[in-house]
Structure 1
Amino acid sequence: MFQEAPPLWQNGPAPGSFYNFPNTTFNNLANSSDAIKHSQSPVTTATSIVALVYDKGVIIAGDLLGSYGSLARYRNCPRVMQINSNIILGAGGDYGDFQYVKALIDQKIINEECLDDGVKLKPKSLYCWLTRILYNRRSKFDPFWNNFVVGGIQDGTPFLGTVDKLGTAYEDKIICTGYGAHIVTPMLRAAMDKNPNIKKDEAKALMHKALEILFYRDARSYPKYQVATIDEIEGVQIDGPIDVAQNWQLANLIH
């Protein structure tokens, strides 16, 4: 008959259990309904965001799939959006966390509009604010499981920066998150080296090629995507859903 292992020491915990510290609320923590629990496993996730700076603005693209584990469950999950006339935003990672942070940003925009002081939130300000939000939650061991890409126009100059779930942040002319950071970044860098002052139409064509490559290579991607652009001439534009043309003749081993 099975017998429970004796305590490790007198009045101590049995193997595999917690020690009951006297005069504390830590008692029976493993079985307590008051225990604070944090999810470290994202449930519904989205994949790569691809972004670059063109000659007069910024372009950000991402597909519309929300994956429930490995199941392509939700197929209309937009992840690029307009914040205001200065800023566009893209997000990858846990979709629920993205929706929560989006609600925080929306409230921040409402608060600024209520001030009615003629000052609009700038991309570097949102970028810095996101680093604080994400690092704060990381420090509580309850991170927002996201990568955010912030693009916009500040003082007439295009800006592009990214923040990950640890609060790590950097600015660059080309930013890819998720699987795209490994697959698409070399292609974009090669294209930008050949043409540093890439035009808007060329940037859109490059985004389409990048999303097509990710659809073929990334098991969590989807052949419909959105593209957001921002510049001083045409302002903010969000196009999509745009379809990726599929050609499976390359799969010559599949019959």
Structure 2
Amino acid sequence: MASLSLQAGGSSSRALPSESTVSAMSGTERTTRPITTGTSVLGIKYRNGVMLAADTLVSYGSLAKYKNAKRLLSINSRTLVGGSGEYSDLQSISDLLRANALADRCTADSLYEEDNNEECAKEVWSYLRAVMYQRRNKMNPLWNDVVVAGFSQNPDGTTSDKPFLGIVDKIGTAYEDDILATGFGGYIALPLMREKYRPDMEEGEARALLEDCLRILFYRDCRALNRVQIAKVTEDGVLVSDPYELDTYWDFKGYQSNKGEMGTDGGW
């Protein structure tokens, strides 16, 4: 607090606080809730790789603020990351992982052996688990659920043919599975994926299933959009599609009939 100094003549004046006093008064600030958020990310293993899917909407509360935000990120030639939650925190995670990937390449024995020096997906997943848990312990979490997809690594540094799919949440809880979903997709899309999933699915079947789930999420999730991205990891590398729009169907009888049987348009 500012000190009170008495001067001759009985008048008083308030001394200006020092920089250290101002710093002590303001304290340490923490993000208490996410502001601009993305919704569900879906992941699935199939015969030859792993596939992720997400829409491109970032919402500011109930406002559809950014409609072309890419939430599927290529970290290196064998790892994909998709994130829901606070978009600025996802950008921070992306910068951190790409800085690590650049450091690995710069400190490698040879710049011409990139594949042998890149982190595999499971290593990225384990690292994110530690980062999320450390930030949570400092009461300053990254407000994201992150899905990591790719392949494991053999002891000699080569890429394994065993696909990997894992998730890490904002408090450091992490697990692996054949199918994963974050956000509202954990309630709507995940049961549909469990019903249709087979370990030997072809790439086209996996993509069709993910698109169907994204379409249903667009119908049911107020923070979802029909503009989406699909990304895959195979032994040949990583491929992230450009955003595109899903076809939708609105001619269901339930959408056309009057609500409440009051002869109105359904509004209240």
Query: If the length of structure 1 is used for normalisation, what is the TM-score?
Result: 0.84
1:112-127 to 2 correspondences below 5 Å = 112-117=104-109, 118=113, 119-127=117-125
Equivalent of residue 49 in structure 2, options 49, 57, 76: 57
Q: Give CA-to-partner distance per residue, 1:130-166, whole Å, 9 cap, x none.
A: 0000000000111000000000022111100000000
Equivalent of residue 185 in structure 1, options 181, 187, 190: 190
Residue 225 of structure 1 deviates from its aligned partner by 0.6
For 2:89 and 2:165, how far apart are their aligned partners in 1? 22
Equivalent of residue 87 in structure 1, options 73, 79, 104: 79
Which residue of structure 2 lines up, in the alignment, with residue 97 of structure 1? 89
Q: Which amino acid is 1:203 matched to?
A: A
Which residue of structure 2 lines up, in the alignment, with residue 77 of structure 1? 69
Q: Which amino acid is 2:87 matched to?
A: Y
Residue 219 of structure 1 deviates from its aligned partner by 0.4
Q: Give CA-to-partner distance per residue, 1:152-181, whole Å, 9 cap, x none.
A: 022111100000000000000000000000
Does structure 1 retain, via aligned residues, the 8 Å contact 2:39–2:85? yes
Residue 253 of structure 1 deviates from its aligned partner by 3.7
Residue 246 of structure 1 deviates from its aligned partner by 1.9
For 2:151 and 2:171, how far apart are their aligned partners in 1? 25
Q: Which amino acid is 2:246 matched to?
A: V
For 1:170 and 1:116, how far apart are their aligned partners in 2? 30
Which residue of structure 2 lines up, in the alignment, with residue 133 of structure 1? 131
For 1:246 and 1:191, how far apart are their aligned partners in 2? 21
Which residue of structure 1 lines up, in the alignment, with residue 222 of structure 2? 219
For 1:196 and 1:189, how far apart are their aligned partners in 2? 11
For 2:214 and 2:102, how far apart are their aligned partners in 1? 33
SS in 2 for 1:208: helix
1:105-254 to 2 correspondences below 5 Å = 105-117=97-109, 118=113, 119-154=117-152, 155-192=160-197, 195-232=198-235, 234-250=236-252, 251-253=255-257
SS in 2 for 1:249: coil
For 2:203 and 2:196, how far apart are their aligned partners in 1? 14
Once the two structures are aligned, what percentage of the paired residues are identical?
38
Q: State the structure with more CA Rg.
A: 2
Query: Please, which runs of 5 or more residues in structure 1 have no aligned partner?
Result: 1-26
SS in 2 for 1:248: coil
Does structure 1 retain, via aligned residues, the 8 Å contact 2:53–2:231? yes
Q: Which amino acid is 1:81 matched to?
A: L
Q: Which amino acid is 1:243 matched to?
A: E
For 2:207 and 2:242, how far apart are their aligned partners in 1? 12
Query: Please, which runs of 5 or more residues in structure 2 have no aligned partner?
Result: 1-20, 153-159, 259-264
Residue 28 of structure 1 deviates from its aligned partner by 11
Q: Which amino acid is 1:57 matched to?
A: G
Residue 196 of structure 1 deviates from its aligned partner by 2.9
Query: If the length of structure 2 is used for normalisation, what is the TM-score?
Result: 0.80
- Give structure 1 regions of 4+ aligned residues with deviation exceeding 3 angstroms: none
Q: RMSD value over aligned CA atoms? A: 1.7
Q: Which amino acid is 2:212 matched to?
A: K
